[in-house]
Amino acid sequence: MRVNPYLTFNGQCEAAFKFYEQCLGGKIEAMITHGATPSKDHVPSEWHSKIMHALLTVGDDVLMGSDAPPDHYQKPQGFSVSLQIREPAQASAFFTLWQIKARCGCQSSRLFGLLALECWSIDTVFHG
């Protein structure tokens, strides 16, 4: 069994996933817009270009997300994303890029020989 996070955005899913792809070294496997699905009649026309489902793979891990229509969106709170990076140079480079480009709150710590990054305010950039 695998547990995969699913993030909900307020119209910024595409930008967020492109950033995650760049900085995590992953690959966007799917990015489906609301307008490309049979459910397009259930969202405002200005949301047809927004993301109904995105899937990013990073190694064996998966991150999924979507843009929720305005009447269904709730700003996330009370969550964090934790990353474990074994190589100190890679962790340092990632930490710098993440803080500069995402402008989110992050802290790093050593735990069981791993550098753990915990980002608790990712929503400051991509969740509006």
Beta carbons of 52 and 39 less than 8 angstroms apart:
yes
**What separation in angstroms does the CA of 8 have from each of 61, 71, 101, 112, 121?**
18, 13, 20, 31, 14
Same domain? 57 vs 88: no
Asked if residue 105 and residue 59 are part of one domain, the reply reads no
Output 48 or 81, whichever has higher pLDDT. Answer: 48
- Asked if residue 66 and residue 6 are part of one domain, the reply reads yes
How many other β-carbons are positioned within 10 Å of the β-carbon of residue 92? Answer: 13
Q: How confident is the model at residue 1 (pLDDT cuts 50, 70, 90)?
A: confident
Count of domains in the chain? Answer: 2
Task: Specify the pLDDT at position 58.
Answer: 92
Q: Residue 92's domain spans which residues?
A: 75-128
pTM surpassing 0.85? no
pLDDT in tens, 39-80: 888 878 898 999 999 999 999 999 999 998 778 888 777 776
60 and 12 fall within a common domain: yes
Query: To the nearest whole number, what is the mean pLDDT of the chain?
Result: 76
SS3 content of the chain, % helix, strand, coil (to 5): 35, 35, 35
Say yes or no: 67 and 113 in one domain: no
Highest mean pLDDT among 18-22, 28-32, 85-89, 94-98: 28-32
- Asked if 60 and 118 sit in the same domain, the reply is no
Strand intervals (E) in the chain: 6-9, 27-33, 51-58, 61-67, 81-85, 106-111, 114-119
